[in-house]
Structure 1
Amino acid sequence: MKVVVLGSGVIGVTAAYQLAVAGHEVTVIDRQSAAARETSYGNAGEVSPGYSAPWAGPGVPVKAIKWLLMHHRPLVVRPHLDLGMVRWGLSMLRNCTAARYEVNKGRMVRLAEYSRKCLEELRDQTGIQYDQRMQGTLQLFRTQAQLDHTAADIAVLQRYGVRFELLDRDGCVRQEPALHGVRDKFAGGLLLPGDETGDCFKFTQALAAMAVQQGVQFRYGTRIERLKPGAQQIDGVVTDAGTVKGDAYLVALGSYSPLLLAPLGIRIPVYPVKGYSITVPITDATGAPESTVMDETHKVAVTRLGDRIRVGGTAELAGYTLRLHEARRQTLEHVVSDLFPRGGDTGRAEFWCGLRPMTPDGTPVIGATRLPNLYLATGHGTLGWTMAAGTGRVMADVISGRKPGIDMKGLTIDRYAGAYR
C-alpha cells in the first residue's frame, strides 16, 4: 500500500518508520528542510509516562488565575479575536471535573505506557542514540503546602501502576546531587523512576535516516496546500510541487492539522499552545541536573541532554504566532539559575519556541476517520515525545488493518460530538 504521511515531526517520522517496517511504500511531506524542525526541535526532553495527565482538572481554573498573576508566570494569555481559542477554552473548562479528569488521564496513561514499551523495543532493535538517560523525573515542590497536596496525584499513580517515590530534602539531593547547594529552596519531591529523558530532535533525525534505509521517501521543502476530496475518500494531497497520490493518508501536522481538515468538514478541537525553551551549554557537570527536575511552582522542566541543559515550560495562548517574548526567557533563566546556579552559561543559551497541539481533554486524536483512507495522529500537546513510539506503532497497525496493541476506545475522533459537519 502507498501511504502518504503529512508532517515530519516526531509523530510523523515514527509512524512512517513503522509503516515502512510493516511493508508499505511511504512518502513523507513537510515544508521544512529536514525532519523535526518545528515543535519536535526544542521541547523539554522528557519521556514521561508517569507525568501523563490532562491540564484540565479539578481546581485548575482557580490555579490558572494565580498563575496569570505570578511574575514568572507559567500561563500567558494574549487576548485577540480568535473564536477557536474561545471554543477550546470553554471545552477545557468543561473537562475540569474529577470525573472527566479520571477518564482523560486513564486514556493518556494507556497510550503513554504502551509508548514506553514501544520505545524500549525500538532501542533494542535499532540501537538508536539520542542522549538518552533512564534516571526518572523529579517533581520538585518548593513549599510544604505543595508537598502536602500530593495525595491525590499519588492515588492516581497507584491506580495506574506507575512507580513513584515520595522524597524529603535529603532524598531529592541523593537523586540530584547538584541541588545540595539550594536545599533550602524546596521542601521535597516526587520521583517517577520509570521516566526517561532524551533529545527529541536527535531521535527524530536519526529515525528519519533509518526510515530512508527502509525505503521511505521524504519530500522536504514542500508546502501542503490542501487535501483533494474524491467521491468517497481522499484522492490526493495538493502541494506547491504538484499533487501526491497514495492509497492512504496520515495527517500528523500537529497544531496545523485542524486547518487542513476543516475544508473537508472535519473539526478537531486542537489548538496551538506555545511553549518556550532555552538550551544551555554545561560549564560545570557537577552543578548540572542528572536527569529531569520539574519545578512545580513555575511548571518548568530542567533536563540534562548530553553536554547541554534544556529548560522548557510556559503555556502561552496566542494563536499561531511564533514571536519570542523576552519575559519568557527570563522565567526559564530564573528557574535554571535558581536551582542549578553552577550548571551552565545562560548567556550562551539558544532561545526557542514551538506550538504544542493541545486538545481540551489532553488526549491526542489518533486512528481512522469517516473517510476510509484518511487517518489522524495529532493533538499530543506536551506529550508528543512521550507518546511518539506508541502512536507510530498504533498507526502502522490501524492502517495495515491489524489489531492495535492497545484499546483504541476514547483515543479517536469519535469521542467528539460534532466532529463531522
Structure 2
Amino acid sequence: MRILILGSGVVGVTSAWYLARAGHEVTVVDRQSAAAMETSYANAGQVSPGYSAPWAAPGVPVKAIKWLMQDLAPLMIKPTLDYNFYQWTSKMVANCTEGKYQINKGRMVRIAEYSRDCLKALREEVEIDYEHRTNGTLQLFRTQKQVDGAAKDIKVLKELGVPFEVLDRDGCAEREPALQYVKDKIVGGLRLPGDETGDCFKFTQALAKKCEEVGVKFLFNTSIDGLLTDKGDIVGVKTSAGVMTADRYLLCLGSYSPLLAKQVDMRLPIYPVKGYSLTLPIVDESRAPVSTVMDETYKVAVTRFQDRIRVGGSAELAGYDLSLPEKRRANVDFVVSDLFGGGGDMAKAEFWTGLRPMTPDGTPVLGGTRYPSLYLNTGHGTLGWTMSLGSAKFVSDLISGRETDIDPTGLGIDRYPYAYAS
C-alpha cells in the first residue's frame, strides 16, 4: 500500500521504518527542513520504560497548586481563555484516582517495555550512532515522603515484571559517583536498570537516512494544511505542494495533531505541554552523571551523552507558545548545578524548548479511527522517545493487517467516548 505519514519527528520516522520494512510505499511530509527539528530535537534523552507513569495520579491536583507557589516550580500555567485547556485539565483531574492511575500506568509501561525491546532489536539489525548508554535511570528522592510515595509505582513494576532497585543515599552515590559530593541532599532513590539513554535527534536523523535507503521518500519544507474527506473516509491531504493521496494516512504530528483532526470532526484530547532543556559540554568527568538522574522534587532529568549533559524538565501550560524567556531556565539550571555542579560548562549551555503532546490519561493514541484510511500515532507526552519504536511497530502491524505483539486494549481513540463531534 501507499502510506502517507504526516510528521517527521521520532514517532513519524520510526513509523516510516517499520512500514517500509513491511513492504509498503512510504512518503513522509513535514513543514521543517529535516527530520526531528521540533519536539525530538533536544528532549531529555531518556528511554525510560520503568519511569513511564501518567501525570494524572492521586494527589497531583493538590501538588500542582503547591508547585505553582514555588520559586523553582516544576509546573507553570500561563493564564488563558483557551477552552481546550480547561477541557483537557478537567479530564486529567478526572484521571487522578488510584484505580485509573494503575490502569493508565500499566498501559504506558506495556508500550514502553515493548518499545525498548524494539530498540534493542533495531540496533542488532542496523548500525546507528546516537550516543546510547544502558546504565539505567535513577529516580532521586530528596525527602522520605517521596520514598514512601514510590510504593504505588513499585507495585505496578512488580506486577509487570519490570526490574528495579530501591537504594539508600550511599547506594545512589555508588550508582552515580558524582552524587558523593551532595549526599546530604539525598534520602534515597529508585533505580530502573533496564532504562537507557541516547540523543533522540541523532537517532532520528540517522534512522531517516536508513529509511531513505529502503525507499522512503521525505518531503520537507512542506506545510500540511488539511484533510480531505469523501463518503466517510479520508481521500487526500492538502499541502503547500498540492493535494497528496495514498491508501493509508498516518497522523504523527504530536501537539499539532488535534488541530488537523478537528477539521474532520475528531476531538483528540491532546494538549501541548511546554518543556525546556539545557545542553552543556562536560568539563569534569568526576562531577558529571554516568546515565540519567531524575530529580523527583523538581521533575527535572539530567542525562549523560558522550561529552555533553542534557538537562530536561519543567512543564508549562502555555498553548502553542514557543518563546524562550530566560526566567524559565531557573528550574533546569538549579538542578544540574545543585546535583552536578562543576560537571558541565554552564556558560556554553544551549537553551531550548519544545511542545510535548499530552493526553489526559498519559497513554498515547494509537491505531485506527472511524475513517478506514486514517490511523493515529500521537499523544506520547514526555515519553515520545521512550515509546516511539514500540508505538511505530504496533501501528505498522495494524495497518499491515498483522497481529500485534502487545495487547491493543485501551490504546486506541475508542477509549474516549467524546472523540468524535458527530
2:364 maps to 364
Alignment of 1:21-420 (within 5 A): 21-420=21-420
User: Would you say the 8 A contact 2:4–2:28 is kept in 1?
Assistant: yes
Query: Residues of 1 paired with 2:232 and 2:72: CA distance?
Result: 51
Query: Residues of 2 paired with 1:161 and 1:100: CA distance?
Result: 20
| DSSP 3-state at the match of 1:355 | strand
| DSSP 3-state at the match of 1:71 | coil
Alpha-carbon shift at residue 150 of structure 1 (Å): 2.4
Query: Residues of 1 paired with 2:56 and 2:164: CA distance?
Result: 22
Q: Which amino acid aligns with 1:74?
A: P
User: Would you say the 8 A contact 2:32–2:221 is kept in 1?
Assistant: yes
RMSD of aligned residue pairs (Cα, Å): 0.8
Query: Residues of 2 paired with 1:222 and 1:153: CA distance?
Result: 43
| TM-score normalised by length of structure 2 | 0.99
| TM-score normalised by length of structure 1 | 0.99
Query: Residues of 1 paired with 2:109 and 2:178: CA distance?
Result: 31
| DSSP 3-state at the match of 1:31 | coil
Q: Which amino acid aligns with 1:375?
A: Y
Structure 2: any 5+ residue segments left out of the alignment? none
Query: Residues of 2 paired with 1:54 and 1:211: CA distance?
Result: 32
Query: Residues of 2 paired with 1:364 and 1:185: CA distance?
Result: 35
User: Would you say the 8 A contact 2:95–2:360 is kept in 1?
Assistant: yes
Alpha-carbon shift at residue 127 of structure 1 (Å): 2.0
Query: Residues of 2 paired with 1:96 and 1:285: CA distance?
Result: 41
Q: Which amino acid aligns with 2:3?
A: V
Query: Residues of 1 paired with 2:331 and 2:239: CA distance?
Result: 40
Cα deviation 1:339-385 (Å, max 9, x = unaligned): 00121011110000000000000010010001111000000000100
Query: Residues of 1 paired with 2:330 and 2:315: CA distance?
Result: 15
| CA spacing shift, 1:233–1:282, aligned 2, 3 Å | same
Query: Residues of 2 paired with 1:296 and 1:57: CA distance?
Result: 14
| DSSP 3-state at the match of 1:32 | coil
Query: Residues of 1 paired with 2:355 and 2:69: CA distance?
Result: 23
Alpha-carbon shift at residue 145 of structure 1 (Å): 2.5
Query: Residues of 2 paired with 1:151 and 1:385: CA distance?
Result: 26
Question: After alignment, is 139-148 or 32-41 more displaced?
Answer: 139-148
Structure 1: any 5+ residue segments left out of the alignment? none
1:4 maps to 4
Query: Residues of 2 paired with 1:391 and 1:295: CA distance?
Result: 27
| DSSP 3-state at the match of 1:229 | strand
User: Would you say the 8 A contact 2:106–2:156 is kept in 1?
Assistant: no
Q: Which amino acid aligns with 2:112?
A: A
Query: Residues of 2 paired with 1:361 and 1:116: CA distance?
Result: 21
Alpha-carbon shift at residue 325 of structure 1 (Å): 2.1
Query: Residues of 1 paired with 2:233 and 2:149: CA distance?
Result: 50
| DSSP 3-state at the match of 1:347 | helix
Q: Which amino acid aligns with 1:192?
A: L
| DSSP 3-state at the match of 2:56 | coil
Query: Residues of 2 paired with 1:101 and 1:150: CA distance?
Result: 13
Cα deviation 1:75-107 (Å, max 9, x = unaligned): 000011100000000000100001111111111
Query: Residues of 1 paired with 2:194 and 2:328: CA distance?
Result: 30
Query: Residues of 2 paired with 1:245 and 1:266: CA distance?
Result: 20
Query: Residues of 2 paired with 1:206 and 1:73: CA distance?
Result: 35
Query: Residues of 2 paired with 1:224 and 1:98: CA distance?
Result: 40
Alpha-carbon shift at residue 152 of structure 1 (Å): 2.1
Query: Residues of 2 paired with 1:278 and 1:61: CA distance?
Result: 28
Query: Residues of 2 paired with 1:325 and 1:76: CA distance?
Result: 13
Cα deviation 1:291-321 (Å, max 9, x = unaligned): 0001111000000011100000011000001
Query: Residues of 2 paired with 1:286 and 1:153: CA distance?
Result: 31
- Between the aligned residues of both structures, percent identity stands at 63
Cα deviation 1:92-127 (Å, max 9, x = unaligned): 010000111111111111111111111110111112
Q: Which amino acid aligns with 2:256?
A: Y
| DSSP 3-state at the match of 2:54 | coil
Question: After alignment, is 246-255 or 229-238 more displaced?
Answer: 229-238
Query: Residues of 2 paired with 1:129 and 1:113: CA distance?
Result: 21
User: Would you say the 8 A contact 2:25–2:215 is kept in 1?
Assistant: yes
Alpha-carbon shift at residue 70 of structure 1 (Å): 1.1
Q: How many pairs align?
A: 421
Query: Residues of 1 paired with 2:145 and 2:95: CA distance?
Result: 25
Alpha-carbon shift at residue 129 of structure 1 (Å): 1.7
| DSSP 3-state at the match of 1:246 | coil
Q: Which amino acid aligns with 1:223?
A: S
Alpha-carbon shift at residue 232 of structure 1 (Å): 2.9
Cα deviation 1:166-205 (Å, max 9, x = unaligned): 1111111110001111111111111011100000000000
| DSSP 3-state at the match of 2:87 | helix
Alpha-carbon shift at residue 18 of structure 1 (Å): 0.6
| DSSP 3-state at the match of 1:163 | coil
| DSSP 3-state at the match of 1:278 | strand
